[in-house]
Structure 1
Amino acid sequence: MAWIVVGLLAALIMVGLIWLGKMPRKAWELAGAALFIGIAGYAWQGQPSLAGSPKEPVEKLGMFDEDLAKQRDEMGGNFGDARAWLVLADAQSRQGKFATAATALSKGLETFPEDPDLWVALGNALVGHSNGLLTPASQYAYQKAASLSPDHPAPPFFLGLALATSGQLQQARSIWAELLERSPADAEWREDLTGRLARLDALIAQQSGAPAPGMPGSVPPVAEPVQPSENKP
């Protein structure tokens, strides 16, 4: 019964956006995808049987990483008209307003739906909004970017980062190792990616109790992973 209500509500929202909000036809697909992602997220994490515990909303400060933003720009090199949306979203993210950043990027994608850098930035904003966790919506954004530009290094890099901060270390390692293998020898991001892979191997080895690759004997102490917003893998 609950899913019938959810489906009807989604249909009403879509109709309202089209007829009352005068949404242009080219934005129908994006709006429909957003509704589908929201329903999928509810199906994945929703627990309607739990008692409510409302809290005042708070902005998430101190989570924007300037180095990662620079890394994204170096990988993408987007200096076209879509660049303005990235600058606007980064300004919001620096203040911890990741939901606002995601909204701005969604607006930008209405005009530039085929821009992989905007999709990557949307994935990053959604991960920031969820305190560093990979969600169905952010994963969709990264996969959409990868489908638009299969050779683009940013989608697998940031998907791997989100997987790592979500605790899915083996999956992150697999994605990063494949990216490193196909990266040019002179790629600006190669050294950083190599270092991240080494730290990831150390964390995986520490959790399994086995030595990290190329490190005989016991694994030296490695800091325990903390909240994703505070520690890079």
Structure 2
Amino acid sequence: MIWVAILALAAVAFATAAFGLRMERPVWTLFAAALVFGLAGYASFGSPDLSGSPTEATQTQAEGEGQLIDSRRSLFGETTQPSRFVTVSDAFARRGQFRDAAQFLQNAVRENPNDEEAWVALGSALVGHAEGHLTPAAVEAFDRARDVAPDSPIPDYYEGVAALQTGDAGRAQVLWTRALANTDEDAEWRPQLEDQVARLEALLRLGAPERTR
């Protein structure tokens, strides 16, 4: 089952960070919590119990990207149809072809610089192309999405997802808290975001070093 591979990768990541990179003990709890939170997020958005054969890391990453694409589309809603470039780029991203996806999205934002979804999708595609790293180019794409829609929670939410992938739980907390503040009280996804923000804050408190008196 895919859960076995995910848990194994999490264990390897923790061991590498804790012992290979000589991470200090006070940080162990926070790092482990971030891994657990990432698994919880996958359980919320993904389908970890679907049967399948063992896959390479790139295919697993593409499957995760597919879940993010589906959730992004649901947030923009059926009344907001994506551009043809976004539709094609999503197909590439679902196959793990993030470079091709980013190229189509660059065409999208050149054609319509006010396309919020294209900028958000570009940010996510650039993170995928960088193998999970939140690069300056990806941050710029999320910033451009915020310029287009200053009150939208979506750019902050997906940059927060990327920050968690990078391991920056503190940045994710700031972004998700701001996303929550910009989310309508009656939005369908608000309860889930409230729960995610609360869990992330609890994990950060758990990993915070004790203050000296």
Q: Kindly state the Cα deviation for residue 164 of structure 1 after the two structures are TM-superposed.
A: 2.1
Name the residue aligned to 2:153.
153
Deviation by residue 1:103-130 (Cα, 9 ceiling, x = unmatched): 1111122212211110000000001111
Q: TM-score, normalised by structure 1?
A: 0.59
Equivalent pair of 1:75/1:152 in contact (CA under 8 Å):
no
Pick closer, same or farther for the CA change 1:97–1:169 going to 2, 3 Å.
same
Cα deviation for residue 131 of structure 1 reads 1.7
* C-alpha distance in structure 1 between counterparts of 2:82 and 2:179, whole Å: 25
- Which residue identity lines up with residue 61 of structure 1 in the other structure? Q
Alpha carbons 1:180, 1:190 under 8 Å: kept? yes
In the alignment, is the contact (CA less than 8 A) between 1:78 and 1:117 conserved in 2? no
The answer to whether the 8 A contact 1:132-1:165 is kept is: yes
The one-letter code sitting in structure 2 at the alignment partner of 1:198 is A
The aligned residue for residue 76 of structure 1 is: 76
- Alpha-carbon distance between aligned partners in 2 of 1:192 and 1:115, rounded to the nearest angstrom: 26
- Report whether the alignment pairs 1:191 with 2:191: yes
Residues 43-192 of structure 1: pairs in structure 2 closer than 5 A: 60-64=58-62, 65=64, 66-77=66-77, 82-192=82-192
Q: 1:79 Cα deviation (Å)?
A: 5.6
**CA shift in 2, pair 1:202/1:103, >3 Å:** same
1:23-65 deviation per Cα after TM superposition (whole angstroms, max 9, x unaligned): xxxxxxxxxxxxxxxxxxxxxxxxxxxxxxxxxxx99322133
After the TM superposition, which segments of 4 or more aligned residues of structure 1 sit over 3 Å from their partners?
77-82
1:96 and 1:67 mapped to 2: Cα distance?
A: 12
Number of aligned residue pairs: give it: 153
**How many angstroms apart in 1 are the aligned matches of 2:152 and 2:185?**
15
RMSD: 2.3
More helix per residue: 1 or 2?
2
**Alpha carbons of structure 1 residues 79 and 87: separation in structure 2 relative to 1, 3 Å:** farther
CA distance in 2, matches of 1:132, 1:91: 19
Q: 1:89 to 1:95 in 2, by over 3 A?
A: same
Q: Tell me, what secondary structure is at the counterpart of 2:58?
A: coil
Q: CA deviation at 1:189?
A: 2.0
Provide TM-score, normalisation by structure 2: 0.64
The whole-number CA distance in structure 1 between the counterparts of 2:186 and 2:139 is: 29
- In 1, the alpha carbon distance for the partners of 2:89 and 2:57 equals 15
The Cα shift of 1:78 comes to: 7.0
Aligned twin of 1:31? none
- SS of the equivalent of 2:197 reads helix
Native 8 Å contact 2:122 2:138 kept in 1: yes
1:68-124 deviations in whole A, cap 9, x for unaligned? 222212322376674322221111111110011001111122212211110000000
- Once residues 175 and 138 of structure 2 are traced to their aligned partners in structure 1, the CA distance between those partners, rounded to angstroms, is 16
Please say which structure displays the higher CA radius of gyration: 1
- Residue 128 of structure 2 aligns with an amino acid whose one-letter code is G
The superposition leaves residues 117-148 of structure 1 with CA deviations (integer Å, 9 ceiling, x where unpaired) of 10000000001111221100000000000001
Give the structure, 1 or 2, with the largest relative contact order (CA under 8 Å, sep 6 or more): 2
Deviates more, 1:89-98 or 1:139-148: 89-98
Report percent identity of matched pairs: 33
Residue segments in structure 1 that go unaligned for 5+ positions in a row: 1-57, 211-233
